[in-house]
Amino acid sequence: MGKTVTISVSTKYVKETVTLQELGIDENMDDKAIKKTVEEYFRDWLWNNVSFSYIIK
């Protein structure tokens, strides 16, 4: 039999609520700027709260 790859992911089921102010967002910013900042925060949050690994055998 050939090599196999086993992938594992765990989310730790974490939920977080932050204010726009905590994200450094001024409510008067345009929607595009707000969305960009939130997406950057979410990407960092995701990397810090999702555990993953893979094993090649």
Q: What is the DSSP string of 14-46?
A: ------TTTTT--TTS-HHHHHHHHHHHHHHHH
Q: In the chain, what are the domain boundaries?
A: 5-56
Q: Which amino acid is at 24?
A: G
The mean pLDDT values, 10 residues at a time, for the chain of 57 residues are: 87 85 93 95 90 91
Q: CA-to-CA distance for 42 and 46, rounded, in angstroms?
A: 6
Would you state the pLDDT for residue 47? 87
Q: What is the pLDDT of residue 49?
A: 86
> In which region does residue 11 sit, left (phi positive, over 0), alpha (psi from -120 to 50) or beta (all else)?
alpha
pTM confidence score: 0.70
Give pLDDT, residue 15: 85
